[in-house]
Amino acid sequence: MVFPSAMAPFSWQARSREHSLTASPNFRQWFRGFTEGSSSERRVTAMTMGTLGVALGVRLLYDARYVQPYRPGLTRIDLVVPPGHEGLANLTIGFVSDTHVCNAFTPDDVARAAALVIEARPDLVVLGGDYVSGSPRYIDGAAEALGRLAEAAPLGAIAVLGNHDHSVGADSVEEALQAQGITVLRNAATAVDWQGSRLWIAGPEDSLLGRPNLPATFAPIPLGAATLALWHEAQFAERTAACGAFAQLSGHSHGGQIRFPFFGALPVALPPHGRRHVMGLNCAAGMPVYTSRGVGVYQPPLRFLCPPEVVFVTLRAGRP
Ligand SMILES: [Fe+2]
């Protein structure tokens, strides 16, 4: 059948439909059909596929920049207390880390994540550092958002600092948090009493830009006490295990922020001191260490397959 020249565009459509009706789903057959078509057919098909590829890329990039970083989730985990401290069973702890308030992540974004913790009604809140990034002008806004979170926990809030807090001014961040009633640990430990039992929180200084001193951190803690380590980086968790902690909570790595199926985070996307125990529950010298993916974002402000999280910890008694 001969098409008039005015019908030329339709001839391709007709033949293309014929291909689609007769071709098997097998990719090799489709590819053979594609390569055996005329050059104009191949050009149109390539342009169509290219346009679809660009549209998909733009959609994924938009999602990674404007959607995924702002959809935090609540992760629930259990940690087993050491024998002899079963009285701490059912004590609940909200854990928030790496809020990174900056021009791309506002105190309102932090408040939205904090609301998930407040709704879960923890007894205690612990904060894992990196509250701001880039400039000290974000400190007050971050501290106010975290202060409202601290008010919601009957036992208050305890914090350590991260490397970005040191970058913008560790003393200023510490003062702002303390002004909100938050206890800040810098190579120090503190105890909370709950229903007749005592839990110690040990907070070494940031390992990247601070000067961690574990002997000084653990010095006030009685031998055999139930001690939860709170350290911005999970990299050296074996050291807090050696000091007697039964578990550690950390942040810092953000899970890499951008992760790929079957592969995970690119090693180059992980910060120094953030390449071990990258995210989730891991084991360091027999001690559980949980690394939060964090709440905020660092540059580039993208998240892909690595949603922000806040963590709700329930202490449990071990098997008798
Ligand atoms: Fe961070």
For the stretch 124-176, pLDDT in tens is: 999 999 999 999 999 999 999 999 999 999 999 999 999 999 999 999 999 99
Residue 65's pLDDT is: 87
Residue 26 lies in a domain: yes
In-domain check, residue 267: yes
pLDDT digits (tens, 9 = 90+) for 6-25: 444 333 343 444 444 444 55
| 110 in the same domain as 244 | yes
7, part of any domain: no
Answer yes or no: is 218 within a domain: yes
Asked if pLDDT for residue 82 goes beyond 50, the answer is: yes
Q: Please tell me the distance between residue 188's alpha carbon and the centre of ligand 1 in angstroms.
A: 21
Please give all residues whose CB falls under 5 A of ion ligand 1, grouped by chain where several chains appear: 98, 130
Tell whether 257 and 176 lie within a shared domain: yes
| Interval between CA 87 and ligand 1 midpoint (Å) | 34
Residues in the chain: 320
CATH number for the domain harbouring residue 261 = 3.60.21.10
How far is the centre of ligand 1, averaged over its atoms, from the C-alpha of 159 (Å)?
14
CA of 290 to the centre of ligand 1 (A): 15
The verdict on 126 and 243 lying in the same domain is yes
Residue 27 has pLDDT above 80, yes or no: no
202 and 300 in a single domain? The answer is yes
| Domain end residue (candidates: 43, 65, 87) | 65
Question: How far apart, in whole angstroms, are the C-alpha atoms of residue 166 and residue 212?
Answer: 13
Token output for 314: 């329930």
Residue 112 C-alpha to ligand 1 middle, in angstroms?
Answer: 18
Q: Kindly state the average pLDDT of the residues 211-239.
A: 98
Q: pLDDT tens digit string along 243-257?
A: 999 999 999 999 999
Rounded distance from Cα 131 to ligand 1 centre (Å): 8
The answer as to whether 5 is a domain residue is no
Taking Cα atoms as reference points, which of 183, 115, 119, 192 lies closest to residue 148?
A: 115
pLDDT > 90? residue 240:
yes
Compute the distance from residue 308 Cα to the ligand 1 centre, in Å.
Answer: 12
Angstrom distance (rounded) from CA 40 to CA 23? 20
pLDDT averaged over the chain? Answer: 90
Q: What spacing in Å lies between the alpha carbon of 276 and ligand 1's midpoint? A: 15
Please answer whether residues 194 and 91 qualify as being in contact, where contact means their C-beta atoms are separated by less than 8 angstroms. Answer: yes
User: Are 38 and 92 in a shared domain?
Assistant: no
Same domain, 38 and 81: no
Shared-domain flag, residues 137 and 47: no
Q: How many domains in the chain?
A: 2
Same-domain check for residues 43 and 191: no
Are 213 and 183 in a shared domain?
A: yes
Say how many Å lie between the CA of residue 301 and the centre of ligand 1.
12
Helix (H, G, I), strand (E, B), or coil: what is residue 50? helix
Mean pLDDT of 214-228: 98
pTM of the complete model: 0.85
pLDDT band at 34 (very low <50, low <70, confident <90, very high): low
Separation between Cα atoms, residue 270 and residue 252, nearest integer Å? 9
One domain for residues 42 and 152: no
Domain that holds residue 19: 15-65
Alpha carbon distance 79, 92 (integer Å): 10
Same domain, 132 and 58: no
pLDDT at 3 over 80: no
Q: 233: CA distance to ligand 1 center in Å?
A: 9
Ligand 1 centroid to 75 CA: how many Å?
18
Q: Which residues contact 59 (CB under 8 A, 6 or more apart)?
A: none
Task: Tell me, yes or no, whether 283 and 228 share the same domain.
Answer: yes
Specify the 3-state DSSP secondary structure of 3. coil
